[in-house]
Amino acid sequence: MKHLLYIFIGGGLGSVLRFLISNHTQKLWNISSFPMATFLVNMVGCLLIGIFSGYFLKYDSELKFLLIAGFCGGFTTFSTFSAENISLWQSGSYGILLVYVLLSVFVGLLAVYVGLNMVKN
């Protein structure tokens, strides 16, 4: 139960920080053709999940639930996606890695397109 509380708190903090960074980035860089805010949040999330994962491989702690599953999960799921792909790469599962990346991108885009069209007039 304590793990769920850590994930809950970390997820809330990550979501709020994502919102604040996105708003600030939009004001700072008003580039309409490139989604700079999302890109920045995703890349920072990837860096953080790498740092946290490396740390908790050396020093196991319950804080991994707060920081990895909670904070990084609330901040961006792209960081989890990237970390999973690194694990596949490191384990030599190149075929699964390729299928996972391609399916995630293309099926994700298709799902958003279908969802948008489901609610059109």
Distance (Å, whole) CA 2 – CA 113? 38
Residue 77 annotated as lining a ligand binding site: no
d(CA 111, CA 83): 22
| Residue 76 known to bind ligand | yes
Q: Are 21 and 41 in contact (CB under 8 A)?
A: yes
The residues, any chain, with a CB within 8 Å of residue 81's CB and separated by 6 or more, are 104
Residue ranges of the annotated binding site are 73, 76
Residue ranges of the annotated binding site for Na(+) are 73, 76
